[in-house]
Chain A
Amino acid sequence: MNNKNITIRDYLYEAPGPKTKRYITIGTVLSLICVAWLIYVIIRLFYENGQLDAKYWSIFTRATTWRFFGKGLLGTLEVSLAAMLVTFSLGMIMMIGRINRNKVISTIATVFIELSRGIPTLLFIYFFFLAVPQFGLKLPAFWKITLPVAISAAGVTAETLRSGVNAVPKGQREAAISLGMRDHTVFLKIIFPQAFRIVIPGLISELVIVLKDTTFAYVVSYADLMQNARVMISNYDALLSVYLVVAVIYILINYGLNKLSVYLANRRKRLQAG
């Protein structure tokens, strides 16, 4: 059997018979007509409101526009990468804390995880933007967006990692300690590598959220893609066109990340299921 072609549909529905196949064909045609009609309506609305006028779109023919977006994109990628690294490090620390046998350490870690998961990202950003400077700590704008975004994602990451650790069969640990390995070796060499592979898709979803959260950079006036888009809009009054292009850029990046996740998950299945 070719495992690659089995999708969620095969688990949910039985194989379609002739009648069902006919219904599926009719449904497909009807929905395609609906989609086409919807697109037509949207474009006509834009046209009637002048959003398709050349003045809103001609800016995209200039290299300076793309250079400006490029700078913003670089800012976004820098913050995202830094935030992802901080998220992962904090998540690891919290997860290791939470599974610690010491009740005090595990309780403290649990409290931090719940705070991180429960508080909205924007509140963390305001904290770093408004409260932290009052303690006399002058952080550059880069960290004022990176740290809160990372802290806000770290709790979920810790729990994702922990679910991976829990998903590793008990026998793996028993086999390792039976060979005479100590707890830390068992964790580093046997448990964690397997746990990590299990949660890669979950972690990448988390990275997508981190990347999207970096759009809050405008709050601290850090020049990311979103902030530069806002500058473009205020200069050219080209709200729809700019947001559309920026949305497409974000979609492409996150689509890439999701593809990476699927690729890694499939590779793991291939490796472990033969």
Chain B
Amino acid sequence: MAQATQAGTPVIELRHVDKHYGQLHVLKDINLSVKKGEVVVIIGPSGSGKSTLCRTINRLETIDSGEILIDGQPLPKEGRKLAELRAQVGMVFQQFNLFAHKTILDNVTIGPREVLKKSKAEAEQEAMQLLKRVGVDSQASKVPAQLSGGQQQRVAIARSLAMHPKAMLFDEPTSALDPEMIGEVLAVMTELASEGMTMVIVTHEMNFAKRVADRIIFMDAGAILEENTPEEFFTNPATQRARDFLESIQAH
């Protein structure tokens, strides 16, 4: 469901970003720009740095050099400014990371209540709408451990949406799910994309990437090797590395 991208300041921009883990060069001169409403899918083999890249955007990972801009503003390095920025960028994790001691409803309301200082009633009303939208409103009073992985991940998406983010980051959102639950999470994400949410998605789901992405980023060994439309990338990859990768995942 690729949409025409809008002009203007990119929502997310990375300029010459480098990062090392000791001797290991995990991000090599990364340049990336994501416009409003754009869906960018990052793919690549394990250890290629795609998750790290995704996590630098809200500074869950620090960078050694280069620049990250959100809405044209440099990403703050610490304190209140950084927290305020993180509140505007949603994050969905591979392991869901729902707050284990809180009910589903409280998981969705805690952000708006603690950070946006919304009233309990207002936060709960909106949370119920969001839970309904992702199809888990009937589970609102349960705790995360009582839900299936697919349900938990949909709650995690609702938790992010409750903050009204400018953009959302998805770090392998279906990699920890049983196969029969992947579809329900991807369906929610597809809907978000079609509504114009700006998204950066790290995933191994190639069919989903084909369907939803405006642009595919192919990474290997910490560098972006290709950046192309899904049609071009999947039918006619430019590098041998990408051809090998696509072949290896289509082999089974």
Contact = CB atoms under 8 A, between A and B. Distances in A.
Interface of A: 169, 171-172, 174-182, 185, 189-190, 193-194, 197, 271-274
A182 B117 CA distance: 13
Nearest to B95: A171
Contacts of A180: 83-88, 111, 115, 163
Contact of B91 (A169, A178, A193, A271): A178
A191 to B, nearest CB: 10
14 contacts: A177-B83, A177-B86, A179-B159, A180-B84, A180-B87, A180-B88, A181-B83, A181-B114, A189-B110, A190-B99, A194-B99, A194-B100, A272-B143, A274-B146
Per DSSP, chain A at the interface is helix
Interface in B87-111: 87-91, 93, 95, 97-101, 110-111
Interface string B18-55: 00000000000000000000000000000000000000
A179 B93 contact: no
Interface in B135-157: 142-143, 145-146, 156
B143 A178 contact: no
A181 to B, nearest CB: 6
B130 to A, nearest CB: 14
A179 B97 contact: no
Nearest to B147: A274
A193 B106 CA distance: 14
Given A180-B111, A180-B163, A175 B145 contact: no
Interface of B: 58, 60, 80, 83-91, 93, 95, 97-101, 110-111, 114-115, 142-143, 145-146, 156, 159-160, 163
Ordered nearest first, which 8 A-B pairs have the shortest CB separation? A180-B87, A171-B97, A175-B97, A179-B111, A178-B91, A274-B146, A180-B115, A180-B86
Contact of A177 (B60, B90, B101): B60
A67 B39 CA distance: 78
Contact of A181 (B90, B115, B143): B115
A182 B80 contact: yes
A274 B93 CA distance: 22
A185 B114 contact: yes
A182 B80 CA distance: 7
Contacts of A182: 80, 83
A186 to B, nearest CB: 9
A272 B101 CA distance: 7
B145 A176 contact: no
A175 B83 contact: no
Contacts of B163: 179-180
Nearest to B93: A171
Nearest to A273: B145
Contacts of A174: 60, 91, 93, 97
A176 B83 CA distance: 10
Given A174-B97, A182-B83, A274-B142, 17 more contacts: A171-B95, A175-B159, A178-B58, A178-B60, A178-B91, A179-B86, A179-B111, A179-B160, A179-B163, A180-B83, A180-B87, A180-B115, A180-B163, A189-B114, A197-B101, A272-B100, A272-B101
Contact of A176 (B80, B85, B99, B160): B99
Nearest to A195: B101
Nearest to A197: B101
A151 to B, nearest CB: 31
A271 B93 CA distance: 23
A110 to B, nearest CB: 25
Contacts of B89: 178
A134 to B, nearest CB: 48
B140 to A, nearest CB: 15
Contacts of A272: 100-101, 143, 145
Contacts of B87: 179-180
Contacts of B159: 175, 179
A252 to B, nearest CB: 32
Contacts of A176: 99
Nearest to A180: B87
